[in-house]
Amino acid sequence: MAETGNLSVPAARRSNGPGLWSNPVTWLRIAIIVGILAIWEATAASGLLYRDVVPSLLAIGRALAKLLSNPEYYWHLSVTAGEVGTGLVIGGLLGLTVGIAFGASKLLGKSFEPYLYYLGPTPKIIFFPIMIMWFGVGPGSKVAMGAISCFFPIALSAAAGMRQIDEVLIRVGRSFRASTSQMVMKIYLPAMRLPVVNGVRLGLGVAIIGTLLAETKLSNRGIGYLIIQAYSLFDMPSMYAMLIVLFIIAIGANALVGRIGRFDAIKQK
């Protein structure tokens, strides 16, 4: 969200310098990972915690292999992907429209943007009972949760992007007597694509969270449903395996959209 600031690491600090294996950073990273895995395995073997709360790495590895070779898992993954994607499209288009309107008109922006700004950081999952009443217990309510979650960051980013557009570009469009749709398609959207991509990146993250949380609360399909099923059956290795895959997918999707934005920024320069 625009109001949650930038939590990324500056590019200059991301570099580890030349020579991967001669770099002490690489060795420290390996040491930390090995240390964590050793502590994990020791805890699993010690029986200090309830059985299976910390399963052995081998058990998690087996569960991960079983999960990834199970076609049913991919069906559930496709259901969640479909819900997240649909939610992102609906929430994104709404957010983009509202953001462009608020960014284009000072009066509209000043009148309504504070509501978006302050409603953005509220916990969206509490709207789930309302979404169930409106859209039923099926995928509709999950799509709605995804849409409502991503609407705010995309709308706020689009409004901010609109205000950053060079006035000259807008005057050029008007001097060519461009219609509103032409202005949006030919001037506004190309000029504000970087903030919009950033908004979509943030929106995608919260749409994934909103949809999956809704699935864990009430659903009979999707990854969220599988996670809560694993919890109910106390199948901890499967739960860890699913969480690992989910985190990789979520962080990977976030990084992919971020990379698109960075690639676009480099091309612009």
Q: List residues binding other proteins (CB under 8 A).
A: 3-5, 7-9, 13-14, 16, 24-25, 28-29, 32, 49, 53, 107, 110-112, 114-115, 118-119, 121-123, 125-130, 132-134, 205, 208-209, 212-213, 216-217, 224, 227-228, 230-231, 234, 236, 239-240, 243, 246-247, 250-251, 254
20 class by beta-carbon count within 10 Å (0-12 exposed, 13-18 middle, 19+ buried) = exposed
For residues 202, 208, 209, 212, the Cα torsion angle rounded to the nearest 10 degrees is 170
CB of 64 to other proteins, least distance (A): 15
CB of 250 to other proteins, least distance (A): 5
CB of 175 to other proteins, least distance (A): 29
Q: What does the alpha-carbon distance between residue 89 and residue 96 come to, in Å, rounded to a whole number?
A: 10
- Residue in this structure with the two tokens 């960051």, named with its chain if needed: 153
DSSP letter at 143 equals H
Q: What does the alpha-carbon distance between residue 164 and residue 152 come to, in Å, rounded to a whole number?
A: 19
Q: What does the alpha-carbon distance between residue 131 and residue 42 come to, in Å, rounded to a whole number?
A: 45
CB of 159 to other proteins, least distance (A): 14
Q: Is the Cβ of residue 160 or residue 230 nearer to other proteins in the bound state?
A: 230
Q: Is the Cβ of residue 173 or residue 205 nearer to other proteins in the bound state?
A: 205
Q: Is the Cβ of residue 29 or residue 171 nearer to other proteins in the bound state?
A: 29
Q: Is the Cβ of residue 179 or residue 220 nearer to other proteins in the bound state?
A: 220
Q: Which amino acid is at 78?
A: S
Report the alpha-carbon angle 45-35-56, nearest 5. 30
CB of 214 to other proteins, least distance (A): 10
Q: Is the Cβ of residue 132 or residue 191 nearer to other proteins in the bound state?
A: 132
Contact between 258 and 201 under an 8 Å Cβ cutoff? The reply is yes
CB of 58 to other proteins, least distance (A): 19
- Residue 68 tokens, joined: 């990834």
Q: Is the Cβ of residue 12 or residue 168 nearer to other proteins in the bound state?
A: 12
